[in-house]
Amino acid sequence: MRKQDLDRDASGPAIFLSMVALILSGLAAAAYFMFKSEPQIQATTETVARENYCANTSDDQETLLQTLSDLKAAMGDEWSSFCQDRLDSILYETAVVKATAGRFNTSFMRLCQIPQRPESDYFRDAEFLFNIWTENRNTSGEPQEIKPLLTSFFQTYKNPFENCPAAQGILSEVR
């Protein structure tokens, strides 16, 4: 190569255009990776939004119970332990409210929906309620004829040994 060619190749406009091309290719690569990982960010955002909804306490208990039940059905395998704890909490609390109001069948059904999990205090509390009810005591510990209601409920309840884990300890006594 001649010296004139080298001087012309190293001129200002050629270096400027090379730098612009390098910057544009870097931006294109960065944009590619940003858009490539977008679905993962969106999935994470949806999970966080669902977890936030599980923490919501502003709705009344009945509405929140229905919403969480629907959310559990929609999420399937992605249902988190945190959300299950929240659902168990609402099932238990509304079961106690229904029992206090004398709506024992609704209370029994809600307690039967609490799954057996080793870390679940609500499951142990549901077992406790079933036990005191077989002793004909209400949630306040006062005497009340509840055992006949339990017997009637579990005679018509479909597969209680499978579908009501919290009542396993009392089923032989009330059936």
* pLDDT score of 30 more than 70: no
pTM of the predicted model as reported, rounded to 2 decimal places = 0.70
In terms of Cβ atoms closer than 10 Å to its own Cβ (0-12, 13-18, 19+), residue 137 is: middle
**Per-residue pLDDT tens over the stretch 61-86:** 898 899 899 999 998 888 999 999 99
What is d(CA 172, CA 70) in angstroms, rounded to the nearest whole number? 33
Query: Nearest 5°: phi and psi at 137?
Result: -120, 145
Average pLDDT of span 89-111 = 95
pLDDT of residue 114: 97
**Per-residue pLDDT tens over the stretch 119-154:** 899 999 999 999 999 999 988 889 999 999 999 999
Radius of gyration over every alpha carbon of the chain, rounded to an integer in angstroms: 31
Average pLDDT of span 56-63 = 77
Query: Taking the mean position of all CA atoms in its chain, how far away is CA 59?
Result: 16
Residue with tokens 């999935």: 43
The candidate with the shortest Cα–Cα distance to 163, out of 172, 154, 150, is 154
